[in-house]
């Protein structure tokens, strides 16, 4: 099996700080920010025990592709991709909320709806919906950005009342979120996919809002195959999807949802390879070109060399 990146521990010229997220290792370089997308995978806000080959490359390349494509809607943090697993860009001051937007009743929203909830993040939900049905129009269901543990649902009104984001700026975040989702929806449709839901993160640089982090990747987004969607809905069958949801569903089937006392199921070579193949499949379906597997021999040396030559 290919080498993977479980973590990095570099020391770059001019480095002023370091942060390790669930998937990304972030290096602060004066006014710049260097983001290395590792092969770690998380679900239910818990990092799984084995990294996934090529996952970091898939996420990084999809994210950079969409950051370029969306730059006419909102400026973003990224300036270059010095390595398939790396992005370099501006150090923005992040807003402590994630802008989650949903076009369909799936995942977390469905689980809440199934349990009887008819309001999500202050947004009323219509009666009579089935799992994976479309909403009359996309809804924004923000979440607080937790440093550790689970992100928490929060309403627009709570965000403004608590002073988490000023009302005028929050309105702009909502507007950008809808524009980005519309672009992502149209792109997915051209590729035979349905963009079900996704999240965007924003920050400020010199008092100007910027799009940060990843965009329209399988970690931040859920996609269904458009072909056969309506037939599967009519028959009450699960939708064929390309997203990290299949990892969550596998964990749920094994009795694990990240709750106290639950045991993480074994990630066999077969499970790991299947997850890797699914990520590559989504890349090829979404970006519409073959995935080029970069050599993974001495992968950390390759990354360090490419970064240093760029700085």
68 alpha carbon, distance to own chain's centre: 16
Residue with tokens 């370089």: 29
- pLDDT tens for 181-232 read 999 999 999 999 999 999 999 999 999 999 999 999 888 999 999 999 999 9
Instruction: Show me where the domains of the chain are located.
Output: 15-93+244-310, 94-243
CA-closest candidate to residue 87, choices 205, 210, 173, 212: 212
- Distance, CA of 278 to CA of 265 (rounded, Å): 19
Q: Would you say the pTM of this structure is higher than 0.75?
A: yes
What are the E-state strand segments in the chain?
A: 15-20, 24-29, 32-37, 42-43, 46-47, 78-83, 86-90, 93-94, 97-104, 119-120, 123-124, 134-140, 143-144, 152-153, 193-205, 208-212, 221-225, 241-243
Q: Which region holds residue 122: left if phi is over 0, alpha if psi is between -120 and 50, else beta?
A: left
Please give the class, per CATH, of domain 15-93+244-310: alpha beta
User: Tens digits of per-residue pLDDT, 77-129?
Assistant: 999 999 999 999 999 999 999 999 999 999 999 999 999 999 999 999 999 99
67 pLDDT tier (thresholds 50, 70, 90): very high
Collect all residues with Cβ–Cβ distance below 8 Å to 292 and sequence separation of at least 6.
none
Q: Could you tell me the sign of the dihedral formed by the alpha carbons of 288, 290, 296, 300, in that order?
A: negative
The C-alpha atoms of residue 229 and residue 226 are separated, in whole angstroms, by: 5
pLDDT reading at 298 higher than 90: no
Overall fold of domain 94-243: D-amino Acid Aminotransferase; Chain A, domain 1 (3.30.470)
Q: Name the token pair of 256.
A: 């694990």
User: Tell me, what's the pLDDT at 146?
Assistant: 62
Tokens of 94: 């992040």
Could you tell me what percent of the chain has a pLDDT over 90?
A: 80
**Rounded CA gap, 109 and 125, in Å?**
10
What is the pLDDT at residue 115?
96
Residue 147 has pLDDT above 60, yes or no: no
């Amino acid at each position: 099996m290919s080498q993977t990146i479980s973590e990095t521990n570099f020391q770059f010229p001019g480095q002023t700080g370091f942060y390790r997220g669930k998937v990304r290792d972030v290096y602060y370089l004066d006014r710049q920010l260097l983001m290395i997308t590792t092969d770690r995978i998380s679900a239910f806000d818990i990092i799984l025990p084995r990294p996934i080959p090529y996952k970091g490359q898939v996420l990084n390349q999809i994210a950079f592709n969409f950051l370029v494509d969306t730059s006419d809607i909102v400026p973003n943090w990224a300036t270059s991709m010095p390595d398939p697993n790396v992005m370099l860009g501006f150090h923005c001051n992040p807003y402590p909320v994630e802008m989650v937007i949903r076009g369909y009743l799936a995942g977390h929203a469905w689980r809440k709806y199934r349990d009887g909830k008819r309001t999500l993040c202050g947004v009323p939900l219509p009666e009579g919906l089935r799992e994976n049905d479309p909403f009359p129009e996309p809804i924004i269901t923000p979440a607080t950005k937790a440093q550790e543990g689970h992100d928490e649902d929060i309403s627009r009104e709570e965000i403004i009342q608590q002073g988490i984001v000023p009302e005028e700026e929050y309105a702009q975040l909502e507007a950008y979120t809808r524009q980005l989702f519309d672009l992502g929806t149209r792109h997915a449709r051209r590729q035979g996919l349905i963009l079900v839901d996704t999240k965007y993160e924003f920050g400020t640089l010199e008092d100007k809002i910027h799009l940060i982090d990843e965009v329209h990747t399988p970690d931040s987004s859920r996609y269904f195959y458009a072909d056969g969607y309506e037939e599967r809905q009519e028959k009450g069958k699960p939708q064929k999807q390309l997203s990290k949801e299949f990892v969550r569903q596998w964990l749920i089937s094994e009795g694990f949802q990240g709750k106290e006392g639950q045991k993480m199921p074994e990630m066999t070579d077969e499970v790991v390879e299947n997850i890797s193949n699914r990520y590559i499949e989504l890349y090829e379906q979404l970006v519409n070109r073959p995935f080029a597997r970069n050599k993974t021999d001495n992968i950390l040396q390759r990354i360090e060399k490419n970064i240093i030559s760029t700085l």
